[in-house]
Amino acid sequence: MTLNKSSQLSWWQKKKRSIIKRLLIRFVNSSDSYVIQHLPEILSDTNIKFSQLRESWIYQNEDNNNKDLVRLLFLITTVEELKKSNIQGALAELGVYRGNSAKILHSLCPERDLYLFDTFTGFDEKDCEPEKESAGGFSNTSLEQVQNFVGKKDTIHYFQGYFPETTHQLDPNIRYALVHLDADLYKPTKSGLEYFYDKLVPGGVLILHDYNNSRWPGVAMAVKEFFGDKPEMPIVIPDKSGSGLIRKV
């Protein structure tokens, strides 16, 4: 069989790309800082467009999130597992910042109610003193900015202010399939656990960002105290900042 010039060129381009990719993977995976891996096979059985979700993941937060694609894959596969297991309930996030993870959750489950809690002005002074953090950390965001990015649909509910005071606006009978806690500090993390744990349905998932991150020791402290008398214990996820995973029994 004789290949024409265009076919030969196409074949060579593909071959060259394959060689470069293998060399790049070998080079990066030989370092002590980064790894490259194939996307999980589970994604091939879905209609998920990873490249689109990746763009949402790094939007206005590229320096951090582009180095933490494992966490994005973790969020995707966790939500897909909830769907596969037919775990019903709403989604919630405490610590929204610029809305990247909220955007992912809504993109994967647009039909579910999504409850988002944040000051949208950074750390509150009441939460900072025990850990000697500065009030206003992560203040380079706003409610309007997040709404414009994540969306203003009827299924997306924003609660701006100090948590857990903002929960007074909520129906206490709401039950959750997934709760993402990303508050960084001891007090809001503990408050989030106290509020959401009993409202998490059996089989539901609690994601604890920064659980295994020495930069934010208050998260692990709050989790250890709260789960001291509970049947569940966190599983550490190998993303950049050491998320923890709890599945409600």
DSSP 76-105: HHHHHHHHHTT---EEEEE--TTSHHHHHH
139 contacts: CB under 8 Å, gap ≥ 6: 121, 122, 123
Interacting residues of 121 by C-beta distance below 8 A, sequence separation 6+: 136, 139, 142
pLDDT at 4 over 70: no
Q: How confident is the model at residue 174 (pLDDT cuts 50, 70, 90)?
A: very high
Strand ranges (DSSP E) for 131-171? Answer: 156-160
pLDDT in tens, 101-129: 999 999 999 999 999 999 999 999 999 98
pLDDT in tens, 47-87: 999 999 999 999 999 999 999 999 999 999 999 999 999 99
Q: What is the DSSP string of 10-35?
A: HHHHHHHHHHHHHHHHHHHHTSSS--
CA 143, CA 30: separation in Å to the nearest integer?
A: 42
- Residue 9 — pLDDT band, cuts 50, 70, 90? low
Tens digits of per-residue pLDDT, 10-55?
Answer: 787 888 888 888 888 888 888 888 888 888 888 888 899 999 999 9
Gap between the Cα atoms of 237 and 70, Å rounded: 9
- Over residues 192-242, the pLDDT tens digits come to 999 999 999 999 999 999 999 999 999 999 999 999 999 999 999 999 999
Burial readout 204-226 (b: 16 or more C-beta within 10 A, e: otherwise): bbbbbbbbbbeebebbbebbeee
What residue has token string 């701006």?
Answer: 160
The pTM of the full predicted model, rounded to 2 decimals, is 0.91
Instruction: Tell me which architecture the domain covering 41-247 has in CATH.
Output: 3-Layer(aba) Sandwich (3.40)
pLDDT in tens, 15-25: 888 888 888 88
Residue 8 pLDDT: 60
